[in-house]
Structure 1
Amino acid sequence: MTETALWLAIAAIFVLLFLSGFFSGSETALTAASRARMHQLEKTGDWRARVAMALISNRERLIGALLLGNNLVNILASALATTVFLTLFGEAGVALATLVMTALVLIFAEVLPKTWAISNPERFAVTVSPIVRVVVAVFGPVVIGVEWIVRAILKMVGVTVGDDASILSAHDELRGAVDLQHIEGGLEKGERDRLGGLLDLAELEVSDVMVHRTNMVALNADDDPGKLVNAALASPYTRLPLWRGESDNFVGVLHAKDLLRALHAAGGDAARINILDIAAPAWFVPDTTSLQDQLNAFLRHKSHFALVVDEYGEVMGLVTLEDILEEIVGEIADEHDVELEGLRPQADGSVIVDGSVPIRDLNRAADWSLPDDEATTIAGLVIHEARMIPEERQIFTFHGFRFTVLRREKNRITRLRIMPLGQIPGVKAPTAPVAPPSDSGAVKAGG
């Protein structure tokens, strides 16, 4: 090899290393770039962002073209380097070429460009997207053939890759982004809970947030009007279901403002009021209705209140617009709300909780992650996991927590103590329920 050819070969090696770094950095930037941010850049009129979004939309083709280009330039650079080192050092040139090219490729063609790209993937992506578009167009036919071969080989070993396969749904991507931002400190717990509650509306049913029938405040429409007026005034609720004859025969919903208007029109004489004349018709919804659908239904009907029925038409409870909104914004309290102490943190790190407290509310308050797939309330979770109705002072350990039954009324668990296992020194999860020493902790049972 002549001296001129030697220098040309060395120059070509550095050009090829630069191209290798370009391919590596472009792959990292275009795969790591936030699609939401790219979409926002596209909306501002950046044509390069539009090109980048088009490339990202066909990620398999994009990665295939960049890998093909990267491998071509790396192999060519290694071949040229081997020739140069053989010319300069003879037989030892092969080993030297391997060591030198490994170091150069690792530093200048992999680590450096990828670190640069990952530091600001969106900016890097829009910068390289016009050139990458040309690369994808040139290598496209070869990549299509490679894709076909890869899919055929995967199919032979029982792996089917669909053309429209999606790893994560939009909701999963958003939920993962919210959780990641919370972990990294970008979102506070309250903000994370509100965004998570909004994403959960489509997955939750009205039965998950309804007020159970045993906790409903309902009035007997056959009672004396004066008694009904007093009961309505004593209640903290604006809307009250009415029943007649039997306690599960609901005939309407009484609004406190309608009652006030009727009382004013009657000159303050409650005996002249016909409660059913001023009551609104009862609205019944299935317990399997999703919160998202029910929220939309409330908005369409301009209503705030519905009775929840099961598959047999039996009333299970009631759901209000406020119940759904609280899944997004957290507990909403006004000056008329009655504060029921259903949750009391203890100095030892445990929590004493009313059995009827919803698992989702407990998770939000304590920042826990107890499962709510099989049960709505914390008492229901204990019964489901225990496969029995526990006795008082029995202990169960599951999901990383120790549950102590403090009080039971008939077949209902009304009070529990919950302790995260990580806060119990030297605790080993028991394999069967055991009776602990007497526990004096107590809270007022909430309804």
Structure 2
Amino acid sequence: MNEFPIGLLFAILGLLLLLSAFFSSSETGMMSLNRYRLKHLANEGHRSARLASKLLEEPERLISVILIGNNLVNIAAASLSTIIAIRLLPGREDLAVGIATLLLTLVVLIFSEVTPKTLAQRHPERISFPASYILRVLSSVLSPAVWLVNGIVRGVFWLLRVGKHSSNDDSLSPEELKTIVNESSSTLPEERQSMLLGILELENVTVDDIMVPRNEVRGVDLEDNIEEIAAKIRTIEYTRFPLYKGDLDKVIGIMHIRDAAEFLYADEPSKVMLTKAAKDPYFVPENTPLHTQLINYQDQQLRMAFVVDEYGDIQGLVTLEDILEEIVGEFTTDIANSNKEIHPQRDGSFVIDGTASIRDINRALEWELPTDGPKTLNGLILEHIEDIPDANVSIKIASYLIEILQIKDNAVTAARIRNLGRARSTVDNIL
């Protein structure tokens, strides 16, 4: 080295620092790649993405190749900088070594570590995709060294009784998927984001959470006379409705409005026409998750089911449309105004029917009333009071002030609710 011109030594040192920057940026870039975008690009035929994905299949080998190369060039740069310093300061070797160490540390830190790694973290694909071609070649060239280093490392792990690492699993839990969807608001329209979250929430919601309660089910009682049955069919607002005898627990079947045409237009209509046209009733347990019920509907080509409790008593009715609304939302433009159970007031409060579902209230008004207990507003109030209350009684649940307006048949039929938390934040914003 003493025979080499000092300029050539500086050029070699600069090349070593560039190589160090390459290895540093490659390591950060490869580890910062979005694995799911990488898989997508690889499946689309992107050559660099395929190569990078293949290298990442063996992360230990990839890290070994990068670290071997990085340490080689860094150690060589340190030795060369010492030679250069000694040649520039002859006779003062101790001072030359100290200055070389200090300056090289500063240069490596700024230009071979922090700067390239920050750049690779910000633009991982731009750095990693071109680098993957070089790393593939180095992986073959340094294969013996990589094998030796990894063998020694495994031996050290064995001595320390460190078990084998678990295999890489890129699968995501539902909670992690929800986080990804929530953080994709800049690239995903709000409507689609809401639909994806709705799908992910299906497994956490059961049919009794969204069913039409038994007392709200509208059907046709076959014990009525022919004229009453015909009038009810003509005025019913649903395309499908249950047929029963005297009580909903004695359900006969499910009738589609088009199948009732023969009965409605017959010269001598009979109840037998309806019972023959009705389809057999379909029953589901009340704790059936929505995603399971959705698959059941698809497998059995059905759109309506009766929800039963552990004793077999009918608790309500759930339809395919009810499940779809959990995914896409209500089929209206303004849920709060279109929902007949929720009545906005001028003072910012809402008068809500006691039979309203708590989940529907939360969805319509973006509230957070507790849903882990009763399903309806009436049930929530009664559970909280633990008694049959009188009208004009007020209670507070979390940040919601609830005033009972009307009681009928031992049930709350109407209540006024004010969200104190929202009102307080609104006042804070004004101030």
TM-score by length of 1: 0.76
**Residue 244 (str. 1) matches residue 245 (str. 2):** yes
Residue correspondence of structure 1 range 145-156 to structure 2 within 5 A: 145-146=152-153, 149=156
- Residue aligning to 2:397: 396
AA in 1 matched with 2:402: V
- Residue aligning to 1:310: 309
**Residue 121 (str. 1) matches residue 108 (str. 2):** no
**Residue 276 (str. 1) matches residue 275 (str. 2):** yes
Q: 2:107 aligns with which of 104, 109, 134?
A: 104
Q: Secondary structure at the match of 1:231?
A: helix
Aligned counterparts of 1:383 and 1:94: Cα–Cα separation in 2: 82
User: Per the alignment, do residues 2 and 378 of structure 1 end up closer, same or farther by CA in structure 2, a change over 3 Å counting?
Assistant: farther
User: Per the alignment, do residues 277 and 350 of structure 1 end up closer, same or farther by CA in structure 2, a change over 3 Å counting?
Assistant: same
Aligned counterparts of 1:75 and 1:259: Cα–Cα separation in 2: 89
- Residue aligning to 2:19: 19
Aligned counterparts of 1:145 and 1:382: Cα–Cα separation in 2: 67
Aligned counterparts of 1:9 and 1:77: Cα–Cα separation in 2: 10
State the number of aligned residues. Answer: 411
Q: Secondary structure at the match of 2:184?
A: helix
- Residue aligning to 1:260: 261
**Residue 40 (str. 1) matches residue 26 (str. 2):** no
Unaligned runs of 5+ in 2: none
AA in 2 matched with 1:164: S
AA in 1 matched with 2:278: A
**Contact 2:401–2:420 (CA<8 Å) still a contact in 1?**
no
- Residue aligning to 1:197: 198
Tell me by how many angstroms 1:194 deviates. Answer: 1.0
- Residue aligning to 1:220: 221
Unaligned runs of 5+ in 1: 428-447
Tell me by how many angstroms 1:115 deviates. Answer: 3.7
The CA deviation string for residues 279-302 of structure 1, in whole angstroms up to 9 with x for no partner, is 111011223333223222222222
The CA deviation string for residues 95-148 of structure 1, in whole angstroms up to 9 with x for no partner, is 544443343233322333234334443343332223333445636433465367
Residue correspondence of structure 1 range 3-402 to structure 2 within 5 A: 4=4, 10-59=10-59, 61-63=61-63, 65-67=65-67, 69-85=69-85, 88=88, 90=92, 91-136=94-139, 138=143, 140-141=146-147, 142-143=149-150, 145-146=152-153, 149=156, 163-164=166-167, 166=169, 169=172, 171-182=174-185, 185-264=186-265, 266-267=266-267, 269-271=268-270, 274-333=273-332, 339-343=338-342, 353-354=352-353, 356-358=355-357, 360-367=359-366, 372=371, 376=375, 388=386, 392-397=393-398, 402=399
Larger Rg computed on CA atoms: 2
Q: Secondary structure at the match of 1:324?
A: helix
User: Per the alignment, do residues 228 and 272 of structure 1 end up closer, same or farther by CA in structure 2, a change over 3 Å counting?
Assistant: closer
Q: Secondary structure at the match of 2:402?
A: strand
Aligned-CA RMSD value: 3.9
**Contact 1:38–1:122 (CA<8 Å) still a contact in 2?**
no
Q: Secondary structure at the match of 1:113?
A: helix
Q: Secondary structure at the match of 2:183?
A: helix
Tell me by how many angstroms 1:61 deviates. Answer: 4.9
**Contact 2:262–2:273 (CA<8 Å) still a contact in 1?**
no
AA in 2 matched with 1:13: L
**Contact 2:51–2:132 (CA<8 Å) still a contact in 1?**
yes
Of residues 91-100 and 338-347 in structure 1, the stretch that sits farther from structure 2 once superposed is 338-347
Of residues 293-302 and 200-209 in structure 1, the stretch that sits farther from structure 2 once superposed is 200-209
Tell me by how many angstroms 1:36 deviates. Answer: 3.4
**Contact 2:351–2:414 (CA<8 Å) still a contact in 1?**
no
